Amino acid sequence: MSQGALDGIVVADFTRVLAGPYATMMLADMGAEVVKIERPGTGDDTRAWGPPYDDAGTATYFNSVNRNKTSVVLDLASEPGRAEARRLVARADIVVENFRAGTMERLGLGYDDLLDVNPGLIYCSVTGFGSGDGAALPGYDLLVQAVGGLMSITGPEAGTPTKVGVAVVDVLTGLHALAGILAALHHRERTGEGQRVETNLLAALLSSLVNQGSAYLGAGVVPGILGNRHPSIAPYEVFPTKDRPLALAVGNDKQFTRLAETIGAPGLATDPRFGSNPLRVAHRDELREEITSILATAGADYWYDELSRVGVPAGPINDVAEAFEFARRLGLDAVVSVPGSSTPQVGNPLTFSRTPVRYRSAPPPLGGAAD
Protein backbone atom coordinates (compact mmCIF):
# COMPACT_ATOMS: atom_id res chain seq x y z
CA MET A 1 0.00 0.00 0.00
CA SER A 2 1.26 3.50 -0.83
CA GLN A 3 2.45 5.64 2.04
CA GLY A 4 0.41 8.65 3.17
CA ALA A 5 2.08 11.98 3.79
CA LEU A 6 1.07 11.82 7.48
CA ASP A 7 1.55 8.11 8.15
CA GLY A 8 2.58 7.61 11.78
CA ILE A 9 0.94 10.83 12.98
CA VAL A 10 -1.70 10.30 15.68
CA VAL A 11 -4.55 12.78 16.18
CA ALA A 12 -6.74 12.97 19.28
CA ASP A 13 -9.90 14.49 17.83
CA PHE A 14 -12.14 16.17 20.41
CA THR A 15 -14.20 17.96 17.74
CA ARG A 16 -17.77 17.66 16.59
CA VAL A 17 -20.16 19.05 13.98
CA LEU A 18 -18.21 20.49 11.01
CA ALA A 19 -15.19 22.81 11.22
CA GLY A 20 -13.06 20.55 13.43
CA PRO A 21 -14.17 17.22 11.91
CA TYR A 22 -13.50 18.57 8.41
CA ALA A 23 -9.92 19.44 9.37
CA THR A 24 -9.31 16.09 11.07
CA MET A 25 -10.77 14.16 8.13
CA MET A 26 -8.30 15.92 5.84
CA LEU A 27 -5.51 14.81 8.18
CA ALA A 28 -6.90 11.26 8.15
CA ASP A 29 -7.09 11.21 4.35
CA MET A 30 -3.39 12.11 4.30
CA GLY A 31 -2.59 9.06 6.43
CA ALA A 32 -2.89 10.23 10.04
CA GLU A 33 -4.48 7.93 12.62
CA VAL A 34 -7.45 9.94 13.90
CA VAL A 35 -9.21 8.85 17.10
CA LYS A 36 -12.52 10.66 17.50
CA ILE A 37 -13.53 11.18 21.13
CA GLU A 38 -17.33 11.26 21.51
CA ARG A 39 -19.71 11.70 24.41
CA PRO A 40 -21.67 8.69 25.68
CA GLY A 41 -25.08 7.98 24.23
CA THR A 42 -25.29 10.51 21.43
CA GLY A 43 -21.78 11.11 20.16
CA ASP A 44 -21.20 13.85 17.62
CA ASP A 45 -24.25 16.11 17.20
CA THR A 46 -24.34 15.41 13.46
CA ARG A 47 -25.08 11.72 14.01
CA ALA A 48 -28.65 12.94 14.61
CA TRP A 49 -28.71 15.60 11.87
CA GLY A 50 -31.03 13.92 9.42
CA PRO A 51 -32.73 13.33 7.11
CA PRO A 52 -31.23 12.40 4.78
CA TYR A 53 -29.74 9.09 5.86
CA ASP A 54 -27.69 6.53 3.92
CA ASP A 55 -28.76 2.93 3.32
CA ALA A 56 -27.39 1.93 6.73
CA GLY A 57 -29.45 4.59 8.51
CA THR A 58 -26.53 6.95 9.24
CA ALA A 59 -27.01 10.69 8.78
CA THR A 60 -25.25 11.72 5.59
CA TYR A 61 -24.17 14.94 7.34
CA PHE A 62 -22.03 12.90 9.77
CA ASN A 63 -20.66 10.82 6.89
CA SER A 64 -19.45 13.91 5.04
CA VAL A 65 -16.61 14.70 7.48
CA ASN A 66 -15.77 11.54 9.47
CA ARG A 67 -14.26 8.86 7.24
CA ASN A 68 -10.90 7.25 8.05
CA LYS A 69 -11.46 7.67 11.80
CA THR A 70 -12.09 5.43 14.79
CA SER A 71 -14.48 6.41 17.57
CA VAL A 72 -13.89 6.22 21.31
CA VAL A 73 -16.66 7.03 23.81
CA LEU A 74 -15.40 8.97 26.84
CA ASP A 75 -17.32 10.79 29.55
CA LEU A 76 -15.08 13.82 29.98
CA ALA A 77 -17.17 14.92 32.97
CA SER A 78 -15.81 11.92 34.90
CA GLU A 79 -12.30 11.41 36.21
CA PRO A 80 -11.96 7.99 34.53
CA GLY A 81 -12.96 9.56 31.21
CA ARG A 82 -10.47 12.39 31.60
CA ALA A 83 -7.74 9.95 32.64
CA GLU A 84 -8.34 7.90 29.51
CA ALA A 85 -8.26 11.07 27.43
CA ARG A 86 -4.87 11.97 28.90
CA ARG A 87 -3.57 8.50 28.08
CA LEU A 88 -4.70 8.97 24.50
CA VAL A 89 -3.07 12.41 24.32
CA ALA A 90 0.18 10.98 25.68
CA ARG A 91 0.68 9.03 22.45
CA ALA A 92 -0.77 11.68 20.13
CA ASP A 93 1.07 14.18 17.97
CA ILE A 94 -1.91 16.48 17.56
CA VAL A 95 -4.97 17.42 19.61
CA VAL A 96 -7.84 19.22 17.88
CA GLU A 97 -10.78 20.55 19.89
CA ASN A 98 -13.67 22.88 19.16
CA PHE A 99 -15.46 23.23 22.48
CA ARG A 100 -16.39 26.69 23.71
CA ALA A 101 -13.29 28.56 24.81
CA GLY A 102 -12.24 27.50 28.30
CA THR A 103 -14.07 24.16 28.31
CA MET A 104 -10.99 21.99 27.86
CA GLU A 105 -9.17 23.99 30.54
CA ARG A 106 -12.02 23.39 32.99
CA LEU A 107 -11.73 19.67 32.26
CA GLY A 108 -8.00 19.69 32.92
CA LEU A 109 -7.34 19.00 29.22
CA GLY A 110 -6.13 22.42 28.11
CA TYR A 111 -2.84 22.96 26.32
CA ASP A 112 -0.91 23.88 29.46
CA ASP A 113 -2.42 20.91 31.32
CA LEU A 114 -1.22 18.48 28.68
CA LEU A 115 2.34 19.72 28.23
CA ASP A 116 3.51 17.55 31.14
CA VAL A 117 1.91 14.57 29.43
CA ASN A 118 3.25 15.38 25.97
CA PRO A 119 5.69 18.32 25.65
CA GLY A 120 5.89 18.06 21.84
CA LEU A 121 2.14 18.28 21.41
CA ILE A 122 0.51 20.37 18.68
CA TYR A 123 -2.76 21.58 20.14
CA CYS A 124 -5.30 23.20 17.82
CA SER A 125 -8.33 25.02 19.22
CA VAL A 126 -11.22 26.08 16.99
CA THR A 127 -13.76 28.44 18.56
CA GLY A 128 -16.63 30.57 17.37
CA PHE A 129 -15.41 34.00 18.42
CA GLY A 130 -12.02 33.53 20.04
CA SER A 131 -11.01 33.13 23.66
CA GLY A 132 -11.55 36.74 24.77
CA ASP A 133 -14.79 38.68 25.11
CA GLY A 134 -16.52 36.41 22.60
CA ALA A 135 -15.66 33.19 24.41
CA ALA A 136 -19.20 32.57 25.65
CA LEU A 137 -20.91 33.08 22.28
CA PRO A 138 -22.12 29.93 20.50
CA GLY A 139 -20.26 29.31 17.26
CA TYR A 140 -22.88 28.30 14.71
CA ASP A 141 -22.26 28.91 11.01
CA LEU A 142 -25.51 30.81 10.35
CA LEU A 143 -24.83 33.11 13.29
CA VAL A 144 -21.32 33.87 12.06
CA GLN A 145 -22.50 34.45 8.48
CA ALA A 146 -24.92 37.00 9.95
CA VAL A 147 -22.68 38.92 12.35
CA GLY A 148 -19.56 38.49 10.21
CA GLY A 149 -20.91 40.43 7.23
CA LEU A 150 -21.26 37.60 4.74
CA MET A 151 -25.06 37.73 4.61
CA SER A 152 -24.93 41.49 4.06
CA ILE A 153 -23.28 40.92 0.68
CA THR A 154 -25.19 37.76 -0.29
CA GLY A 155 -28.70 37.58 -1.72
CA PRO A 156 -30.79 38.31 -4.81
CA GLU A 157 -31.25 42.02 -4.09
CA ALA A 158 -30.88 44.72 -1.45
CA GLY A 159 -32.95 44.01 1.62
CA THR A 160 -32.79 40.24 1.30
CA PRO A 161 -29.64 39.10 3.14
CA THR A 162 -29.15 35.40 2.48
CA LYS A 163 -26.90 32.72 3.89
CA VAL A 164 -24.70 30.66 1.61
CA GLY A 165 -26.29 27.30 0.82
CA VAL A 166 -23.68 25.31 2.74
CA ALA A 167 -21.95 25.97 6.09
CA VAL A 168 -19.11 27.65 4.27
CA VAL A 169 -17.67 29.42 7.33
CA ASP A 170 -17.18 26.08 9.07
CA VAL A 171 -15.42 24.69 6.01
CA LEU A 172 -13.18 27.76 5.64
CA THR A 173 -12.31 27.62 9.34
CA GLY A 174 -11.52 23.92 9.08
CA LEU A 175 -9.14 24.65 6.22
CA HIS A 176 -7.45 27.43 8.20
CA ALA A 177 -7.06 25.02 11.12
CA LEU A 178 -5.57 22.42 8.79
CA ALA A 179 -3.05 24.92 7.44
CA GLY A 180 -2.03 25.92 10.96
CA ILE A 181 -1.63 22.31 12.08
CA LEU A 182 0.54 21.41 9.08
CA ALA A 183 2.72 24.50 9.63
CA ALA A 184 3.13 23.54 13.29
CA LEU A 185 4.09 20.00 12.27
CA HIS A 186 6.78 21.41 9.99
CA HIS A 187 8.09 23.61 12.81
CA ARG A 188 8.21 20.62 15.16
CA GLU A 189 10.08 18.59 12.55
CA ARG A 190 12.76 21.30 12.44
CA THR A 191 12.95 22.17 16.13
CA GLY A 192 11.23 19.46 18.16
CA GLU A 193 8.89 22.07 19.62
CA GLY A 194 5.14 21.65 19.78
CA GLN A 195 2.84 24.64 20.04
CA ARG A 196 -0.72 25.83 20.34
CA VAL A 197 -2.62 26.78 17.17
CA GLU A 198 -5.86 28.78 17.43
CA THR A 199 -8.45 29.97 14.93
CA ASN A 200 -12.07 30.97 15.13
CA LEU A 201 -15.07 31.20 12.84
CA LEU A 202 -15.34 34.98 12.83
CA ALA A 203 -11.66 35.63 12.11
CA ALA A 204 -11.63 32.99 9.37
CA LEU A 205 -14.69 34.56 7.74
CA LEU A 206 -13.28 38.09 7.89
CA SER A 207 -10.06 36.83 6.28
CA SER A 208 -12.12 35.09 3.61
CA LEU A 209 -13.99 38.27 2.68
CA VAL A 210 -10.78 39.15 0.75
CA ASN A 211 -11.60 41.91 -1.79
CA GLN A 212 -14.82 42.88 0.00
CA GLY A 213 -13.05 43.31 3.31
CA SER A 214 -10.19 45.16 1.63
CA ALA A 215 -12.67 47.52 -0.06
CA TYR A 216 -13.85 48.60 3.37
CA LEU A 217 -10.45 48.81 5.04
CA GLY A 218 -8.62 50.40 2.10
CA ALA A 219 -11.25 52.64 0.55
CA GLY A 220 -13.99 53.00 3.14
CA VAL A 221 -16.48 51.21 0.89
CA VAL A 222 -19.08 49.18 2.77
CA PRO A 223 -20.13 46.50 0.24
CA GLY A 224 -23.77 45.64 -0.23
CA ILE A 225 -25.85 43.01 -1.98
CA LEU A 226 -25.36 42.88 -5.75
CA GLY A 227 -27.14 39.61 -6.44
CA ASN A 228 -24.98 37.64 -8.86
CA ARG A 229 -23.05 40.68 -10.03
CA HIS A 230 -19.44 41.45 -9.11
CA PRO A 231 -18.52 44.79 -7.52
CA SER A 232 -15.42 45.27 -9.66
CA ILE A 233 -15.81 43.21 -12.87
CA ALA A 234 -18.35 43.19 -15.72
CA PRO A 235 -19.84 41.18 -17.29
CA TYR A 236 -19.45 38.84 -14.31
CA GLU A 237 -22.92 37.61 -13.41
CA VAL A 238 -25.76 35.29 -14.39
CA PHE A 239 -27.77 35.87 -17.57
CA PRO A 240 -31.01 34.28 -18.78
CA THR A 241 -30.91 32.28 -22.00
CA LYS A 242 -33.56 30.56 -24.10
CA ASP A 243 -33.86 27.71 -21.58
CA ARG A 244 -31.89 28.19 -18.33
CA PRO A 245 -29.45 30.65 -16.73
CA LEU A 246 -25.83 30.98 -17.81
CA ALA A 247 -22.96 32.36 -15.75
CA LEU A 248 -20.45 34.63 -17.52
CA ALA A 249 -17.17 35.41 -15.75
CA VAL A 250 -15.37 37.77 -18.13
CA GLY A 251 -12.24 38.88 -16.36
CA ASN A 252 -10.35 41.00 -18.92
CA ASP A 253 -10.65 42.98 -22.15
CA LYS A 254 -9.39 40.14 -24.34
CA GLN A 255 -12.08 37.81 -23.03
CA PHE A 256 -14.69 40.53 -23.56
CA THR A 257 -13.66 40.95 -27.19
CA ARG A 258 -13.97 37.19 -27.72
CA LEU A 259 -17.37 37.23 -26.05
CA ALA A 260 -18.60 40.01 -28.30
CA GLU A 261 -17.35 38.25 -31.43
CA THR A 262 -18.74 34.85 -30.45
CA ILE A 263 -22.24 36.10 -29.69
CA GLY A 264 -22.29 37.95 -33.00
CA ALA A 265 -21.96 41.48 -31.62
CA PRO A 266 -18.35 42.54 -32.23
CA GLY A 267 -19.34 46.18 -31.93
CA LEU A 268 -19.74 45.77 -28.18
CA ALA A 269 -15.97 45.57 -27.82
CA THR A 270 -15.49 48.94 -29.53
CA ASP A 271 -18.49 50.67 -27.97
CA PRO A 272 -17.10 53.60 -25.93
CA ARG A 273 -19.30 52.55 -22.99
CA PHE A 274 -17.66 49.14 -22.80
CA GLY A 275 -14.05 49.68 -23.90
CA SER A 276 -12.47 48.81 -20.56
CA ASN A 277 -13.47 46.97 -17.43
CA PRO A 278 -14.04 50.15 -15.37
CA LEU A 279 -16.28 51.47 -18.14
CA ARG A 280 -18.18 48.19 -18.29
CA VAL A 281 -18.71 48.30 -14.53
CA ALA A 282 -19.99 51.90 -14.81
CA HIS A 283 -22.39 50.89 -17.60
CA ARG A 284 -23.21 47.40 -16.41
CA ASP A 285 -26.99 47.84 -16.78
CA GLU A 286 -26.74 48.85 -20.45
CA LEU A 287 -24.26 46.03 -21.07
CA ARG A 288 -26.57 43.53 -19.43
CA GLU A 289 -29.43 44.57 -21.69
CA GLU A 290 -27.29 44.12 -24.80
CA ILE A 291 -26.01 40.69 -23.80
CA THR A 292 -29.35 39.42 -22.50
CA SER A 293 -31.14 40.14 -25.78
CA ILE A 294 -28.58 38.06 -27.68
CA LEU A 295 -28.29 35.14 -25.26
CA ALA A 296 -32.09 34.74 -25.34
CA THR A 297 -31.81 33.39 -28.89
CA ALA A 298 -30.24 30.05 -27.82
CA GLY A 299 -29.93 27.71 -24.84
CA ALA A 300 -27.33 27.71 -22.08
CA ASP A 301 -25.59 24.55 -23.27
CA TYR A 302 -25.17 26.02 -26.76
CA TRP A 303 -23.60 29.18 -25.40
CA TYR A 304 -21.43 27.20 -23.00
CA ASP A 305 -20.01 25.16 -25.88
CA GLU A 306 -19.46 28.19 -28.12
CA LEU A 307 -17.91 30.40 -25.47
CA SER A 308 -15.74 27.69 -23.93
CA ARG A 309 -14.36 26.89 -27.36
CA VAL A 310 -12.84 30.40 -27.56
CA GLY A 311 -11.74 30.62 -23.94
CA VAL A 312 -14.54 32.75 -22.51
CA PRO A 313 -15.39 31.59 -18.96
CA ALA A 314 -19.03 30.53 -19.01
CA GLY A 315 -21.22 27.76 -17.64
CA PRO A 316 -24.83 26.78 -17.00
CA ILE A 317 -26.25 26.81 -13.48
CA ASN A 318 -26.02 23.13 -12.55
CA ASP A 319 -27.81 21.48 -9.67
CA VAL A 320 -25.72 19.27 -7.36
CA ALA A 321 -26.40 16.12 -9.40
CA GLU A 322 -25.39 17.88 -12.62
CA ALA A 323 -22.28 19.26 -10.89
CA PHE A 324 -21.04 15.77 -10.02
CA GLU A 325 -21.80 14.60 -13.56
CA PHE A 326 -19.88 17.57 -14.96
CA ALA A 327 -16.86 16.65 -12.80
CA ARG A 328 -17.11 13.05 -14.02
CA ARG A 329 -17.08 14.17 -17.66
CA LEU A 330 -13.94 16.19 -16.95
CA GLY A 331 -12.23 13.10 -15.53
CA LEU A 332 -12.05 14.39 -11.96
CA ASP A 333 -12.17 11.87 -9.10
CA ALA A 334 -14.91 13.76 -7.29
CA VAL A 335 -16.75 10.63 -6.15
CA VAL A 336 -14.98 7.77 -4.38
CA SER A 337 -15.82 4.41 -2.85
CA VAL A 338 -14.84 3.92 0.78
CA PRO A 339 -14.26 0.45 2.28
CA GLY A 340 -17.03 -0.49 4.66
CA SER A 341 -19.56 1.93 3.16
CA SER A 342 -22.38 1.06 0.81
CA THR A 343 -22.67 4.66 -0.39
CA PRO A 344 -20.12 6.78 -2.28
CA GLN A 345 -18.47 9.86 -0.82
CA VAL A 346 -17.04 13.11 -2.10
CA GLY A 347 -13.36 12.66 -2.85
CA ASN A 348 -10.57 14.64 -1.24
CA PRO A 349 -9.72 17.50 -3.64
CA LEU A 350 -5.95 17.13 -3.14
CA THR A 351 -3.71 14.90 -5.25
CA PHE A 352 -0.11 14.01 -4.39
CA SER A 353 2.37 12.45 -6.80
CA ARG A 354 4.17 10.42 -4.11
CA THR A 355 1.84 10.23 -1.09
CA PRO A 356 -1.72 10.02 -2.40
CA VAL A 357 -4.71 10.41 -0.12
CA ARG A 358 -6.29 7.11 0.92
CA TYR A 359 -9.79 6.01 1.76
CA ARG A 360 -9.27 3.32 4.39
CA SER A 361 -12.54 3.16 6.26
CA ALA A 362 -16.08 4.48 6.39
CA PRO A 363 -17.23 6.90 9.10
CA PRO A 364 -17.17 4.87 12.33
CA PRO A 365 -20.10 3.71 14.45
CA LEU A 366 -20.21 5.34 17.86
CA GLY A 367 -17.44 3.89 20.01
CA GLY A 368 -15.81 1.77 17.33
CA ALA A 369 -13.98 1.46 14.04
CA ALA A 370 -15.68 1.02 10.69
CA ASP A 371 -15.84 -2.54 9.43
Structural contact between residues 231 and 212, judged by C-beta atoms closer than 8 angstroms: yes
> Is 305 noted as a catalytic residue in this protein?
no
Catalytic annotation, pick one of 44, 54, 141, 170: 170
Active site residues: 170
